[in-house]
Structure 1
Amino acid sequence: MTAYIIRRLLYAVPILIGVNLITFLLFFVVSSPDDMARMQLGVKRVTPEAIATWKRERGYDRPLLFDQEATGPGKVTDTIFFAKSVRLFAFDFGSSDSGRDIGFDIAQRMWPSLAIAVPVLLVGLAVNISLALFIVFFRATYLDYASVVLLVAMMSISGLFYIIGGQYLLSKLFHLVPISGYDTGLAAWKFLVLPVIIGVIGGIGTGTRWYRTLFLEEIGKDYVRTARAKGLSERLVLFRHVLRNALIPILTGVVVVLPLLFMGSLITESFFGIPGLGSYTIDAINNQDFAIVRAMVFLGSVLYILGLLLTDISYTLVDPRVRLG
């Protein structure tokens, strides 16, 4: 197992290098440091002196990839690529174009993102699996057909509809929870209730329909017919056999999502004023702070690869065939 994990981690290195290089080219070749300076200074007529000062203060006055005038390792290290991209592998995110410590901001903002994402994941998983098992129990009936139609309709509705509708009903009409905002400590719960409810409801259509499909594939297999022949009730067949054998595709969806929970939800956090990593990324895009965007793209790549590794490891815990192999 240790050798397998090390091998998978080594596979991730060239992927991260490729993502880092492509991100760098997108930001610095398509948009040069001079263009970034003009956008940040926000004026139509910017003097060359102002552009030079802005680049010097933020380390953009160096060569992009190779410094011909330097000697030794400085030809590579004294470049924008090394200062802004290579250091990301050590999780040294540096400073934003506005001067803030990106690493400090990430450490502070990941907790509000987790406060929303973790309850949405756990509650949504329980609700979706329970509803899917209930629908499969009444499969091939009018209840099953009506449920599929309702789930497809819920999948077709934009997430913005759930957000705006929830804010109008629970906040503006009934005044049950604040419409937006955030607070620290235990007082934050009242600001998290509405985003969590909307996140769970918005995922019912896709999640329940997917789990229903998984359970229907399992319920037609030979081991299910054998369990019924032994006299087991349909409820025991569903929960003891079908659910257990469907854990691998369920884990595939759940474990991959786990690391991405840190990244937050761009739309939800922006609409509800939650100071998480999602709104942090949106604000950086709106302010054209490319240092933050690059850091978040790299962090998202690392977390996604970590999720794939956790998925492979989790297979060995639920499927003896993988473990024995």
Structure 2
Amino acid sequence: MIGYIGRRLLYGIAILLGVNFITFILFFAVNTPDDMARLSIGGQRVSVDAIEKWKAERGYDKPLLINIEQSGAAQLTDTIFYQRSVPLLRFDFGLSDAGLDIGHEIRTRMGPSLALAIPSFVLGILASVSFSLLLVFFRTTRLDFWGVVLCVVMLSISSLFYIIAGQWLFAKVLRLVPYSGFIGGFGMVKFLALPILVAIISRLGPEARFYRSLFLEEIGKDYVRTARAKGLSERAVLFGHVLRNALLPILTSTVAALPLLFMGSLIAESFFGIPGLGSYTIDAINAQDFSVVRAMVFLGSTLYIVGLILADVSYTLADPRVRFE
């Protein structure tokens, strides 16, 4: 098991190095430092002196990968790649193109993102599993049929519709919650209530349909028929046997998503005015701040790899029969 985790960590590090390098190439293949300077200053008719000044202030006046004007190790270290991308590997995010500390922004905005993501994640899973178990309990009935129809309809609707409809109904018509915004402390509850509700409803359709398929697959197996033959009630069979044996795929999807909770929600945070990492990324994209975007891409890749490793390790905790050679 330790050897397996070690190999997975090595694979993850190799993938992370590749992602860092490919991201750097893609960013600077699409936008050269001159293009970035024009976008930041504004307009195409920008003087050469203004472009060179902007590049010098932000360290973009150096060669991308190899500095042939230097000698020895300086040929590699005195480059944009070494000074702007290599520090990401030790989680030194540096400064944004606007001159702000990216690491400080991430630490500051992580709290609002988690305040929205954790309740949405936990309550969303509980709602989806409970609803899917209800449909399985009343399978082949009208409740099951219309429940599946509802799931298909809900997964066919964009999450953006739920956000706009929720703001219109609960904030504008009923005036139960604020339209958008965020404050610290206990007062954040009234600002997070609507985003959390929207997140739960938008996830209910696809997740409940998926969990229902898992439970129906388990309910037709031999151990379920044996449990019924022993005289167990349908409720005991469903909760004591089917749910427990269907935990493996559920655990895989949930554990893999845990590290990504730190990244926040791009759309929800932007629409509800929550100063989290999701809105931070959107603002950086709109402002053409490529330093922030690269940092967030790297952080997201790191958390995704960590989530996959945690999901693999959780297999053995959910099912002791699973062993890795």
Aligned residue number for residue 136 of structure 2: 136
Asked whether the 8 Å contact 1:69–1:75 carries over to 2, the reply is: yes
C-alpha distance in structure 1 between counterparts of 2:123 and 2:77, whole Å: 48
Aligned-pair CA distance for 1:43: 3.1
1:27 paired residue number: 27
Paired residue secondary structure (1:144): helix
Give the RMSD, CA atoms, in angstroms.
Answer: 1.0
Structure 2: runs of 5+ lacking an equivalent: none
What is the CA–CA distance in structure 2 between the aligned matches of 1:178 and 1:42, rounded to whole Å? 35
Match of 2:149 in 1: 149
State the distance in 1 between where 2:170 and 2:315 align. Answer: 41
Equivalence for 2:209: 209
Q: Secondary structure, in 3 states, of the residue corresponding to 1:107?
A: helix
Q: For the residues of structure 2 that align with 1:160 and 1:216, how far apart are their CA atoms?
A: 31
For residues 301-316 of structure 1, what are the structure 2 equivalents within 5 Å? 301-316=301-316
- 217-226 or 22-31: bigger deviation: 22-31
Q: What corresponds to 1:74 in structure 2?
A: 74
Q: Which amino acid in the other structure matches residue 127 of structure 1?
A: A
Q: Distance in 2 between matches of 1:185 and 1:256?
A: 29
Distance 2:12 2:318 in 1: 24
Q: How does 1:164-179 map to 2 (within 5 A)?
A: 164-179=164-179
**Aligned residue in 2 for 1:270:** 270
Q: Which residue pairs with 1:51 in the alignment? A: 51
**Distance apart, 1:323 and its partner CA:** 4.1
Separation in structure 2 between the aligned mates of residue 28 and residue 210 of structure 1, nearest angstrom: 40
- Contact 1:317 1:323 survives alignment (8 Å): no
Aligned residues: 325
Report the Cα distance in structure 1 between the residues aligned to 2:12 and 2:163, rounded to whole angstroms: 36
Q: CA deviation at 1:70?
A: 1.2
Residues 188-267 of structure 1: matches in 2 within 5 Å?
188-267=188-267
1:3-22 equivalences under 5 Å are 3-22=3-22
Q: With structure 2 as the length reference, what TM-score do the two structures score?
A: 0.98
Is residue 4–residue 324 contact of structure 2 (8 Å, CA) maintained in 1?
no
How many Å separate the matches in 2 of 1:28 and 1:108? 28
Q: CA–CA distance in 1 between the matches of 2:303 and 2:27?
A: 21
Distance in 1 between residues matched to 2:168 and 2:13, nearest whole Å: 47
Cα drift, residue 44 of structure 1: 3.4
Work out whether residues 182 and 188 of structure 1, in 8 Å CA contact, stay in contact via their aligned partners in 2.
yes
CA distances 1:42-85 after superposition (whole Å, capped 9, x unpaired)? 13321111111100110001110011121221111111011111
8 Å CA contact 1:170–1:177 kept in 2: the answer is yes
Secondary structure of the residue that 2:258 maps to in structure 1? helix
> Unpaired runs of 5+ in structure 1?
none
SS at match of 1:183: coil
For 2:193 and 2:245, the matched residues in 1 are separated by 33
Q: Does the aligned pair in 2 maintain the 1:259–1:307 contact within 8 Å? A: yes
Aligned residue in 2 for 1:97: 97
Q: Does the Cα contact within 8 Å between 1:177 and 1:190 map onto a contact in 2?
A: yes
**Residue 200 of structure 1: how far off its partner (Å):** 0.5
Aligned partners of 1:117 and 1:261 also within 8 Å: yes
One-letter amino acid of the structure 2 residue matched with residue 113 of structure 1: S
